[in-house]
Structure 1
Amino acid sequence: MKQRSVQLDPLNSPYPVPWTWVLAALTEAQPKDSPKIRYYRSQSLLSPDERYAAYSRIQIQIAPDNFASRVSSVLFLENLKTGDLQTITASSPFADNPFMPTSDARPAGSIAILIPVAWSEQGDRVLAREFESLFGTDIASDFAVVWDRQQNRTYTIAPTRVQYSNAILLGWSQNEPDKVLFRAGNLGDENWPICSVDVSGQTAIAHQDQPITFGHIANNIWAGPQAHR
């Protein structure tokens, strides 16, 4: 799969979130009557057969106290033949649909950024990274979000039964394509093991495994920061 350009990322992920845009939105000078919401659209990730595109829309709600700002997102799946559009949301702790009124129930300072990472080789599943954090803290970790097209079902996945403070999503497992790989460990530790995790959360140490991804990026002109509201 085509590599993404080098970007700043809080976890040094191979699939960076638009962190530079988040920081710029927080630091720009704002008159009192200026908009407090900013939007960003990710690049589209096309399935191997180019029938589907996955992309996300990210929203930051800027508070007077930057540490109370909220970042949320939603993943879109578009059938490029029919134009049908489906929305996917995670069920991780800070995740919520930013276009629903209940989004205000999320804690102040929460960050939940969902971006597409890879399709399966057959194009029947899509893998997305859900990065979650809190402004002003060292809390930061990844969840994997898998959408199964045949079942029309979404799974939110994270390592279990292993001790870690941070997990970084790496991609599909090369050895077991129905599982995803994470690197998980504690801050300060040098060697973080790679774990394979299935959709039920069952976790095993993956001693001789490598991440793999499918699909390719379409560099659309509408990707990036969106108009203010």
Structure 2
Amino acid sequence: MLKRQLSLSGWLKNKPLGLLLATLMLITSSLFYEKAKANESFVASQSSVLYSQPLREVTEAIKPDLTEPYVQSDPLNSPYPIPWNWVLETHAELVANQSFGFRYYRSQSLVSPDGKYAAYSRIQLQGQPELYRSRISSVMFLENLQTGDLRIITASSPLANHHNDDTLSGAISILIPVSWTESSDRLLGRQFESFFNTSDGSDYAVIWDRNQNTVTTLAPERIHYTNAMLLGWSQANPDQVLFQAGELGNEYWPMWSVEPNGYTALTFEDEPMVYGESVEHIWSGSQARW
């Protein structure tokens, strides 16, 4: 069993910068399209030159730059990032190759502390020439590792219920597993929803209850905010989830606890908790076909 406790000291202080970067990422993501389009003629004219160049040996001095860990970005600077780099890089590749359509990504598996269940997500990018017309949807699978049975977990958030609506150009609806409970009786997922080229992005908590076999979707209620970010289970009240929610431009985003019935309260000394073991498979990551 892997138990992880997130310390918010220092992280909250850096939140305004992270939020600014995330906002810029959403607003400027359309530049990938323009950049890729502008590079098409350059790549075509330089291809013969590139292939005629001799191979350079990678020296020890520059090897560290090529082997640095891959850092995944996130529109909200979440500690549980969605594959945002893959989204932007894949769309840029589609534009450069003038080959549009569906591309897929599979997340890592999150195994429950008792080792009986694993949760993972399949993310689908429907690429269009313009990024703001592309769409992302997802589905989260819950696998019983003892029987092999699969269950599909879906959120009841606004965009999750309309992911097949062709009028919602630019919609982003991504559900990924975040944590189990310590007793493995509940699964917590992060449902991120937004639109390309906007700053209107927010998280929902999706909870599967193993004993009741129910799925609940939660978000902070009766408070004013523009963006909410899921943090994890509450350490003080393990049946509750923690969010950080506030308005764009504010330097401080308070932390809120949300009960299973949606009741939302301000909290100051609580800490988010996450449980489970992330397992990497050979089929995790980008997939051209599903």
What TM-score range do you get, normalising by the shorter chain?
over 0.9
In structure 2, what is the equivalent of residue 180 of structure 1? 241
Aligned counterparts of 2:175 and 2:166: Cα–Cα separation in 1? 18
Give the TM-score normalised by the residue count of structure 1.
0.92
1:96 Cα deviation from its structure 2 partner: 4.3
In structure 1, what is the equivalent of residue 47 of structure 2? none
1:106 Cα deviation from its structure 2 partner: 6.1
1:199 Cα deviation from its structure 2 partner: 2.1
Structure 1 residues 129, 16: CA separation in 2 closer, same or farther (over 3 Å shift)? same
Structure 1 residues 156, 5: CA separation in 2 closer, same or farther (over 3 Å shift)? farther
- Matched AA of 1:41: R
Q: Which runs of 5+ in 1 are unaligned?
A: none
The percent of aligned pairs where both chains have the same amino acid is: 56
Residue 167 of structure 1 contacts residue 183 of structure 1 at CA under 8 Å; is this kept in 2? yes
Q: Which runs of 5+ in 2 are unaligned?
A: 5-68
Structure 1 residues 142, 91: CA separation in 2 closer, same or farther (over 3 Å shift)? same
Residue 138 of structure 2 contacts residue 174 of structure 2 at CA under 8 Å; is this kept in 1? yes
In structure 1, what is the equivalent of residue 175 of structure 2? 114
Higher gyration radius (CA): 2
1:17 Cα deviation from its structure 2 partner: 0.3
Cα deviation, 1:39-94, whole Å, max 9, x if unaligned, reads: 00000000001100000000011122220111000000000000000000111111
Residue 96 of structure 1 contacts residue 106 of structure 1 at CA under 8 Å; is this kept in 2? no
Does residue 48 of the first structure (1) align with residue 109 of the second (2)? Answer: no
Aligned counterparts of 2:3 and 2:249: Cα–Cα separation in 1? 32
Residue 3 of structure 2 contacts residue 275 of structure 2 at CA under 8 Å; is this kept in 1? no
CA RMSD after TM alignment:
1.9
Does residue 13 of the first structure (1) align with residue 51 of the second (2)? Answer: no
Does residue 87 of the first structure (1) align with residue 134 of the second (2)? Answer: no
Does residue 57 of the first structure (1) align with residue 122 of the second (2)? Answer: yes
- Matched AA of 1:227: A
1:25 Cα deviation from its structure 2 partner: 1.6
Give the TM-score normalised by the residue count of structure 2.
0.73
In structure 2, what is the equivalent of residue 168 of structure 1? 229
Higher strand share: 1
In structure 2, what is the equivalent of residue 78 of structure 1? 143
In structure 2, what is the equivalent of residue 134 of structure 1? 195
Cα deviation, 1:164-213, whole Å, max 9, x if unaligned, reads: 11101000000000000000000111111100002221100112100001
Greater displacement, 10-19 / 199-208:
199-208
3-state SS of paired residue (2:160): coil
Aligned counterparts of 1:54 and 1:196: Cα–Cα separation in 2? 24
In structure 2, what is the equivalent of residue 221 of structure 1? 282
1:228 Cα deviation from its structure 2 partner: 3.4
Structure 1 residues 207, 123: CA separation in 2 closer, same or farther (over 3 Å shift)? same
Higher helix share: 2
Cα deviation, 1:4-30, whole Å, max 9, x if unaligned, reads: 974101100000000000001211135
Paired positions, count? 224
Aligned counterparts of 2:254 and 2:235: Cα–Cα separation in 1? 16
